[in-house]
Amino acid sequence: MNRFLTAVGMVLMAAAVAFVVYLFYLQNDRIGSLEAALAVSQENQVIITEEKEGLKEEVDRLEQEISELNLLLEEKNEIDVPDRFDEKAYAFLRESIESILQSRAEPAIETQSLLDLSPKELEAFEQFQSDRDDIHLMGLSPLSIMKLYLHAEVQRDFLTQYYLYYLDNQSALWSLEEHLAIPNEDRVQDFGVFENASRVVVWEQGNLANVSWYSDHFSEAYDEDAWQYYFHLTRNENNVWKVNFIPMQ
């Protein structure tokens, strides 16, 4: 009887130790996720600071050009020419200055649609759609996987979309059945923030990735003050990027 009690005690002690080790692992994993999120935030802060400095330099340069053009106008007004010619020259010079200032002060920002798939991305989506095998996604970047996820949303192919999530025992927040049962009113209705994206940046650290971009499109589905957006992914055991549950949180 004593041996039995001793054996039971040892089993319980081993189970307790295993549980403590498991909790320690979960805590380390959580710390790693927080450190990765902090690194993303710091990286974005550096990008914003650099852009701010670049814009300040652009403003200073434009102010210098305005000063030089105003000086030209003053010199031009001092030239003694016939009134009819002077009036035409002044109008031409003024139009030229306004054109230069408009083109310099409002530089065109290149935009792209995150909903447009390249031929390679479309082929990968159709192959993955047929059997949901990760082999069709190997070699695709985090940005490409994000675009496939959004394409599935547009196509209302929620079965394929679910298997683009990072599915493991700890990260899956809901089942396939629950995903398919989500009401349409709770799904994406306004794709404007994805259709008019600028300054797209992909950041990777280990098995974590983040896609960030800017959009001036107003959407009630997202924070009206959030003109910069983020999309999070994780690399799985097959070395394939997958979408985090609630990727834009």
pLDDT tens, position by position, 121-173: 999 999 999 999 999 999 999 999 999 999 999 999 999 999 999 998 777 89
Could you tell me the pLDDT band of residue 190, with boundaries at 50, 70 and 90? confident
Q: Using one digit for the tens of pLDDT, what is the confidence trace for 57-79?
A: 777 777 787 777 777 666 655 55
Q: Using one digit for the tens of pLDDT, what is the confidence trace for 20-50?
A: 555 555 566 666 665 665 666 676 666 667 7
Higher pLDDT, 220 or 116: 116
- Note the pLDDT of residue 81: 47
Number of other CB atoms surrounding residue 100 within 10 Å: 14
Q: Is the pTM of this model over 0.75?
A: no
247 HSE (CA, 13 A, CB side): 28
Indicate the helix (H) or strand (E) that contains 208. strand 208-214
Helices (H) and strands (E) in the chain, counts: 7, 5
Could you tell me the pLDDT band of residue 120, with boundaries at 50, 70 and 90? very high
Q: In sequence order, what are the residues at sequence separation of 6 or more whose Cβ sits closer than 8 angstroms to the Cβ of residue 236?
A: 134, 166, 167, 168, 242
Q: Supply the mean pLDDT for the chain.
A: 78
Give the SS3 label for residue 244. Answer: coil
- Note the pLDDT of residue 37: 58
Higher pLDDT, 10 or 167: 167
Higher pLDDT, 184 or 101: 184
